């Protein structure tokens, strides 16, 4: 481009010099004020879906080589690349090409967009996972190529939640390119997207997909007609004169004819617009200059609702690994404050397989079977690495605690940012027989209830091993409490299972159930004497679903870009099959001082059904699990909870926030969904079950689907003979974990956001050695003054110190919120999501004070000299 401009300038100078003396120079040609059609070549790398990661690299890396050749051979050619998981292997395998990357980026003809490891799903993974995508992706490009990625590029992601504008802006991303999730077909292609905190982000929606200009003819006349037809296809969407079209497909080869055909088109007379090869940043400047952009508020969801429960076990893996990795980071941050060395590279090695598996297709579960096996292998590898980092951080912390006292020390760690009580379990071993009974003693010497879950015995009847459960009370925020387990007189043994009565009760609830089917006939909340259920609850409905991995009830329309609004009625008896229509022997009940647990199992149509319901003595949460063995193709399973609040409102948690959603439509939720009014509500917490519908007061949770790829056209790596039959889940045992939290008041007053986090971030409990230590028996690392503000992340910061991220959970202002870290804080600074410091924050009495608007996210980087112990 630079050379062409220079030639034009030189020709102009020589023409002037050759003019006869006294001649009048010709008038300059009139300015070309026609609209511009911005043509952006790219390739959409899939990461993995029909082929594995390595197989797609073999298929896709030659496309980068070809794009670089076109950039070298065609001065007007431009190209876009995005995902680190694609670019990094290329630069590692072709290091000689790095100077060309730098050259074409400097010339403005090659742009790196996205700034992420992959193109992820953003609805199923949590908010911190997406932040790690940004940190990993933008960090790599900053260090490797010296560039800051500023264009958001989620062109194929299946829906987008309403916190994305704030997240992107806080990471230095100034635009958002996508093709899915708008509310109607004539939605403006360029608009400002306003998130739930008020942040606005320039958004570029591609109504005719990211392949609009791919497959163009290599003939000037035919290309002219092709380009004009594509320009006209945007008539109903383009609010400005200029329009944009992308030219690329899934793992598609760059097209060499595109730039020459654009040049030929521009030489044709009387065309209604001009075409220009470009990169996204060029069109973004045009959009940014407009003053009449419309504002869209809310979310770009839902898209492909079947993905919320296809290969459901992958959703559970994502939730589990997020909890594990965030816990490892928290322990590493505390260890750094204690003077330890944080191994950031080890943490990133554990994160990257998880980030890769959050690719939109993989998180959605739409892959072939051999790719599925590869994905599960990646999760297991990451799990092992996370376990190593948790062990390292735990050992460093435990070694500093004064654990002396009678008996075996047991330390309970709370990974969340408020003091909490919850039930935890730990495994014990006894080196010799003769131990008939044990007791639990807290750090004040008081005896606490303990329940043996299971045990083995020596020949003399004494305990050999035991798994024990107890309620750890008031464990400090991001801190721990020490207990001791010691021998006692008498006998301690597991409570034997007995035939279940029809009623379970604690100080919070009275539950009436059918001991043979497992259905809950009544759930009565004692506070206010409120009946939660209007009919049998905790029942599974199985009904026909002739869709595929992507779509409910129908085959895939791959071009779907409009948010789906089809409503689902509550399954009707006769049309669907219900778990409480089948029965076997009565269930059993194990009762103890810590919890009572009901268990039942019986046939369910052609498969099997089993359920547990656990009622705690001291907690208002009711923990449940349902295990299904499916025996049929093209069916789906949903848990049903018909509430007595038919006219209430439905709120779902989304990453870093919550949003009210319409009734009857399946949406993806994070940790919880709440159906309630100002007086009462039922929150359903989940551990990796994103799909939820609320119809006529009934909360429905999608727990399993039986499908395959279906009638997908060959291409993008999908080839004849590829199998996805394991997606039918025939004979597979799948367990859904969830919890019920009936409550007074609305979800905010009931603290539902905290309850969802507690269910997904269990207390960490381990036996430790008895020794002296500089830390007391009970201690917390942080205190946050506002109950509606939580710490979502605590980790070693990239530039030293620790990074702490908070957000407001309830949609209410949180002025003058104080965050006190129990360390000698030398400096505190607000930072962006990448931990780039943006300005010092004042410290008063060891605390940082911040003001938050509803659903605002803030990151604080702290430099601490040494631990402060009280």
Write the secondary structure of 127-194 as one string of H (helix), E (strand) and C (coil).
HHHHHHHHHHHHHHHHHHHCCCCCEEECCCCCCECCCHHHHHHHCCCCEEEECCCECCCCCCCEEEEE
Question: Is the same domain home to 352 and 250?
Answer: no
Residues forming beta bridges with residue 837, ordered by sequence position: 831
pLDDT per residue as tens digits for the range 82-134:
999 999 999 999 999 999 999 999 999 999 999 999 999 999 999 999 999 99
Question: Is the same domain home to 489 and 503?
Answer: no
Q: Do residues 782 and 431 make contact, with C-beta atoms less than 8 angstroms apart? A: no
* Mean pLDDT, all residues of the chain: 95
Q: What is the mean pLDDT of residues 377-398?
A: 98
From 304, 308, 301, select the one nearest 637 (Cα to Cα).
308
pLDDT higher than 80, residue 8: no
In a domain, 426, yes or no: yes
Q: What is the mean pLDDT of residues 839-862?
A: 93
Question: Is the same domain home to 119 and 55?
Answer: yes
Q: What is the mean pLDDT of residues 355-365?
A: 98
Q: What is the mean pLDDT of residues 294-305?
A: 98
What's the confidence (pLDDT) of residue 26? 54
pLDDT higher than 50, residue 446: yes
Q: In the structure, what pLDDT confidence band is assigned to residue 866 with cuts at 50, 70 and 90? A: low
CA distance readout (Å), 499 to 512, 514, 600, 688: 15, 12, 10, 31
Helix (H, G, I), strand (E, B) or coil at 54: helix
Rounded CA-CA distance 231/711 in Å is 31
What's the confidence (pLDDT) of residue 32? 87
Domain final residue, candidates 439, 471, 494: 494
Helical spans, DSSP H, in 176-312: 220-232, 258-267, 280-288
In a domain, 775, yes or no: no
In a domain, 677, yes or no: yes
Question: Is the same domain home to 255 and 148?
Answer: yes
Share of the chain above pLDDT 90, in %: 91
Q: Do residues 113 and 153 make contact, with C-beta atoms less than 8 angstroms apart? A: yes
pLDDT per residue as tens digits for the range 153-173:
999 999 999 999 999 999 999
In a domain, 626, yes or no: yes
Rounded CA-CA distance 59/253 in Å is 10
Angle at alpha carbon of residue 756, lines to 750 and 762, rounded to 5°: 125
Half-sphere exposure of 664 toward its Cβ, with a 13 Å CA cutoff? 8
Rounded CA-CA distance 210/738 in Å is 38
Half-sphere exposure of 752 toward its Cβ, with a 13 Å CA cutoff? 34
DSSP 788: T
| CATH code, 346 | 1.20.1270.50
In a domain, 355, yes or no: yes
pTM of the model: 0.94
From 209, 196, 207, 198, select the one nearest 161 (Cα to Cα).
196
pLDDT per residue as tens digits for the range 553-565:
999 987 789 999 9
What's the confidence (pLDDT) of residue 560? 80
From 688, 692, 716, 704, select the one nearest 640 (Cα to Cα).
692
| CATH code, 456 | 2.60.40.1180
Helix (H, G, I), strand (E, B) or coil at 202: strand
Question: Is the same domain home to 334 and 462?
Answer: no
Tokens of 224: 């002219």
What's the confidence (pLDDT) of residue 28? 63
Q: What is the mean pLDDT of residues 381-402?
A: 98
Rounded CA-CA distance 343/386 in Å is 12
Question: Is the same domain home to 476 and 433?
Answer: yes
In a domain, 259, yes or no: yes
pLDDT per residue as tens digits for the range 742-777:
999 999 999 999 999 999 999 999 999 999 999 999
pLDDT per residue as tens digits for the range 564-606:
999 999 999 999 999 999 999 999 999 999 999 999 999 999 9
Question: Is the same domain home to 681 and 815?
Answer: no
Q: What is the mean pLDDT of residues 771-795?
A: 98
Question: Is the same domain home to 201 and 118?
Answer: yes
Q: Among 25-39, 653-667, 707-721, name the one with the lowest average pLDDT.
A: 25-39
| CATH code, 800 | 2.60.40
pLDDT higher than 50, residue 13: no
Tokens of 733: 């045992």
Rounded CA-CA distance 82/47 in Å is 11
pLDDT per residue as tens digits for the range 220-248:
999 999 999 999 999 999 999 999 999 99
Question: Is the same domain home to 526 and 645?
Answer: yes
What's the confidence (pLDDT) of residue 660? 99
CA distance readout (Å), 414 to 273, 606, 757: 62, 43, 12
Domain final residue, candidates 280, 301, 322: 301
Tokens of 186: 């004539």
Q: What is the mean pLDDT of residues 629-646?
A: 98
From 531, 813, 814, select the one nearest 679 (Cα to Cα).
531
Q: What is the mean pLDDT of residues 291-305?
A: 97
Q: In the structure, what pLDDT confidence band is assigned to residue 4 with cuts at 50, 70 and 90? A: very low
Q: Do residues 784 and 826 make contact, with C-beta atoms less than 8 angstroms apart? A: no
Q: What is the mean pLDDT of residues 774-794?
A: 98
In a domain, 49, yes or no: yes
Do strands 498-499 and 588-591 pair parallel, antiparallel, or not at all (unpaired)? antiparallel
- Residue 870: Cβ within 10 Å count: 6
- The parent domain of residue 848 ranges over 781-870
Question: Is the same domain home to 370 and 259?
Answer: no
| CATH code, 570 | 2.70.98.30
State how many domains the chain has.
Answer: 5
In a domain, 5, yes or no: no
Share of the chain above pLDDT 70, in %: 96
Question: Is the same domain home to 468 and 531?
Answer: no
Q: Locate tokens 């009760």: which residue?
A: 505
Half-sphere exposure of 374 toward its Cβ, with a 13 Å CA cutoff? 18
Residues forming beta bridges with residue 465, ordered by sequence position: 429, 456
Question: Is the same domain home to 551 and 657?
Answer: yes
């Amino acid at each position: 481009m630079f050379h062409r401009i220079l030639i034009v300038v030189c020709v102009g100078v020589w023409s002037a010099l050759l003019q006869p003396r006294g001649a009048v120079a010709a008038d300059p040609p009139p300015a070309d004020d026609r609209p511009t059609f911005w043509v952006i070549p790219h390739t959409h790398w899939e990461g993995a879906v029909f082929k594995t990661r390595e197989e797609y690299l073999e298929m896709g890396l030659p496309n980068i080589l070809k794009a670089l050749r076109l950039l070298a051979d065609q001065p007007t050619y431009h190209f876009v690349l995005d995902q680190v998981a694609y670019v990094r292997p290329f630069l590692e395998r072709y290091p000689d090409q790095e100077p060309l990357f730098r050259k074409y980026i400097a010339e403005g003809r090659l742009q790196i967009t996205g700034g992420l490891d992959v193109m992820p799903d953003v609805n199923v993974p949590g908010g911190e996972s997406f932040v790690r995508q940004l940190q990993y992706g933008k960090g790599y490009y900053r260090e490797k190529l010296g560039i800051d990625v500023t264009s958001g590029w989620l062109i194929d992601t299946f829906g987008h939640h309403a916190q994305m504008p704030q997240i992107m802006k806080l990471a230095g991303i100034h635009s958002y390119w996508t093709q899915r999730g708008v509310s109607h077909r004539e939605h403006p292609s360029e608009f400002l997207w306003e998130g739930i905190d008020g942040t606005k982000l320039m958004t570029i929606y591609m109504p005719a997909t990211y392949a609009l200009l791919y497959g163009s003819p290599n003939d000037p006349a035919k290309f002219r007609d092709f380009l004009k037809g594509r320009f006209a296809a945007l008539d109903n969407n383009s609010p400005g004169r200029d329009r944009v079209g992308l030219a690329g497909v899934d793992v598609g080869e760059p097209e060499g004819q595109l730039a020459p055909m654009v040049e030929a088109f521009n030489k044709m007379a009387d065309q209604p617009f001009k075409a220009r090869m470009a990169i996204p940043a060029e069109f973004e400047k045009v959009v940014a200059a407009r003053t009449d952009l419309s504002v869209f508020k809310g979310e770009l969801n839902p898209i492909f609702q079947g993905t919320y429960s296809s290969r459901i076990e992958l959703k559970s893996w994502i939730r589990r690994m997020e909890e594990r990795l965030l816990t490892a980071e928290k322990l590493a941050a505390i260890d750094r404050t204690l003077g330890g060395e944080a191994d950031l590279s080890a943490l990133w090695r554990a994160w990257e397989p998880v980030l890769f598996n959050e690719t939109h297709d993989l998180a959605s579960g739409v892959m072939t079977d051999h790719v599925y096996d590869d994905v599960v292998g990646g999760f297991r590898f990451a799990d092992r690495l996370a376990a190593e980092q948790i062990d390292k951080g735990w050992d460093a912390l435990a070694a500093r605690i004064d654990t002396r006292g009678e008996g075996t020390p047991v330390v309970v760690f709370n990974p969340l940012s408020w003091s909490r009580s919850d039930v935890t379990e730990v495994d014990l071993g006894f080196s010799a027989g003769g131990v008939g009974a044990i007791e639990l003693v807290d750090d004040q010497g008081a005896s606490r209830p303990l329940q043996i879950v299971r045990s083995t015995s020596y020949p003399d009847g004494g305990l050999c091993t035991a798994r024990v459960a107890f309620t750890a009370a008031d464990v400090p925020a991001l801190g721990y409490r020490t207990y001791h387990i010691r021998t006692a007189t008498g006998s301690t043994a597991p409570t034997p299972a007995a035939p279940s009565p029809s009623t379970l009760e604690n100080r919070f609830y009275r539950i009436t159930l059918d001991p043979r089917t497992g259905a809950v006939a009544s759930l009565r909340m004692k506070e206010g004497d409120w009946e939660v259920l209007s009919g049998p609850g905790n029942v599974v409905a199985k009904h026909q679903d002739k869709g595929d991995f992507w779509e409910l009830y129908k085959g895939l329309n791959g071009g779907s870009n409009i948010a789906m609004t089809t409503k689902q009625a509550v399954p009707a008896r006769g049309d669907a099959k219900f778990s409480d229509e089948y029965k076997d022997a009565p269930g059993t009940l194990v009762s103890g001082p810590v919890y009572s647990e009901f268990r039942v199992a019986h046939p369910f149509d052609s498969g099997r059904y089993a359920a547990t319901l656990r009622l705690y003595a001291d907690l208002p949460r009711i923990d449940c699990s349902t295990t299904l063995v499916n025996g049929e193709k093209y069916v789906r399973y949903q848990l049903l909870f018909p509430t007595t609040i038919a006219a209430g409102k439905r709120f779902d948690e989304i990453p870093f926030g919550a949003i009210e959603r319409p009734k009857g439509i399946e949406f993806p939720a994070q940790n919880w969904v709440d159906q309630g009014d100002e007086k009462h509500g039922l929150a359903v917490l989940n551990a990796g079950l994103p799909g939820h519908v609320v119809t006529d007061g009934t909360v429905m949770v999608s727990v399993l689907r039986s499908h395959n790829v279906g009638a997908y056209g060959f291409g993008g790596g999908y080839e004849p003979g590829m199998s996805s039959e394991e997606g039918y889940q025939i004979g597979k045992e799948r367990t859904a974990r969830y919890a019920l939290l009936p409550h007074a008041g609305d979800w905010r007053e009931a603290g539902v956001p905290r309850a969802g986090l507690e269910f997904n971030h269990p207390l960490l409990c381990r036996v430790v050695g008895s020794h002296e230590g500089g830390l007391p028996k009970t201690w917390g690392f942080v205190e946050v003054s506002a109950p509606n503000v939580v710490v979502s992340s605590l980790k070693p910061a990239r530039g030293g110190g620790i990074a702490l991220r908070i957000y407001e959970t309830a949609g209410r202002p949180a002025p003058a919120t104080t965050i006190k870290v129990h360390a000698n804080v030398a400096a505190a600074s607000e930072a962006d999501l990448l931990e780039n410091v943006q300005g010092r924050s004042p410290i008063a009495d060891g605390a940082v004070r911040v003001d938050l608007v509803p659903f605002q996210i803030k990151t604080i980087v702290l430099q601490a000299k040494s631990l402060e112990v009280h």
